[in-house]
Amino acid sequence: MGVSITQLVIVLVIVLVLFGTKRLRNIGGDLGGAIKGFRSAMKEGSAETNITEKEPDIIEGEVTEKTKDKV
């Protein structure tokens, strides 16, 4: 039930005839650039996650020291 090599070659020839070599080359380049951008974004995201994990959790407006009320 798998795809044989001959079936794969037939599909590739049909795609080549439909789109042409220039268009396939452009599509391949665009796809490669998109994958490269995605990988770099994933690396940047994981680097930012590591940086934020090292910082202490401080909520804005949180009182860290107890102050005495003057009445």
Q: Is the pTM of this model over 0.85?
A: no
The confidence band for 33, taking pLDDT boundaries of 50, 70 and 90, is very high
Can you tell me the mean pLDDT for 15-35?
91
Asked whether 27 and 19 are in contact (CB, 8 A), the reply is yes
Q: How many helices (H) and strands (E) in the chain?
A: 2, 0
Burial 24-46 (b: 16+ CB within 10 A, else e): eeeeeeeeeeeeeeeeeeeeeee
Domain boundaries defined on the chain: 20-52
Q: How many CB atoms lie within 10 A of CB 3?
A: 8
